[in-house]
C-alpha cells in the first residue's frame, strides 16, 4: 500500500495522500457549529492537516489559512485544531460572526 511513496517523477517534489477527514464541533467557540479538517500523509514523511475555514485577519481582512503537522494522523489533527484556534485568540468570541470567516471551495474539500 505504500508503493505511492516511492514514485519518482521529474519535477515532483512530494505527493500527498488524503488519509482522513474529520468534522470538528466547536459550538461554544465559533459562530457556526462545525468545521472540517482534512489530513494528508506526505510521501516524504509525516502528516499534515488543513481546515476548510479561515478567520479573516484583523490587519488586512484576508483569510489566515492554517495547517498542522504530526507524526501520526492524531497528532496532525490536534495540531491543526490548535493552530486554527490560535488564529481567533484575542478576538471576542461572543462578537465573532460568520462574516469574520472565509470558507474553502467545496471542491477543494
How far is residue 24 from each of residues 3, 6, 21, measured CA to CA in Å? 31, 33, 10
Q: Taking the model in full, what pTM does it have?
A: 0.88
* Cβ-based burial of 90 (10 A; exposed 0-12, middle 13-18, buried ≥19): exposed
Convert the pLDDT of each residue in 49-87 to its tens digit: 999 999 999 889 999 999 999 999 999 999 999 999 999
* Domain regions of the chain by residue span: 15-108
The model's confidence at residue 94, banded by pLDDT at 50, 70 and 90, is: low
Output the average pLDDT for the chain: 92
In the chain, what percentage of residues exceed pLDDT 90? Answer: 73
Give the residue from 73, 33, 74 showing the smallest Cα distance to 53. 33
Say which range, 26-30, 51-55, 94-98, has the weakest mean pLDDT. Answer: 94-98
With a cut of 90, say whether residue 11 has pLDDT above it.
yes
- Predicted confidence at residue 1, as pLDDT, reads 65
Amino acid at each position: 500500500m505504500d508503493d505511492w511513496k516511492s514514485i519518482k517523477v521529474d519535477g515532483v517534489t512530494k505527493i500527498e495522500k488524503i488519509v482522513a477527514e474529520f468534522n470538528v464541533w466547536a459550538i461554544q467557540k465559533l459562530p457556526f457549529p462545525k468545521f472540517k479538517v482534512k489530513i494528508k500523509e506526505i510521501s516524504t514523511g509525516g502528516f499534515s492537516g488543513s481546515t476548510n475555514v479561515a478567520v479573516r485577519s484583523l490587519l488586512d481582512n484576508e483569510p489566515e489559512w492554517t495547517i498542522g503537522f504530526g507524526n501520526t494522523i492524531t497528532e496532525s489533527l490536534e495540531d491543526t485544531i490548535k493552530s486554527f484556534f490560535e488564529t481567533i485568540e484575542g478576538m471576542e468570541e461572543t462578537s465573532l460572526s460568520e462574516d469574520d470567516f472565509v470558507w474553502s471551495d467545496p471542491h477543494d474539500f
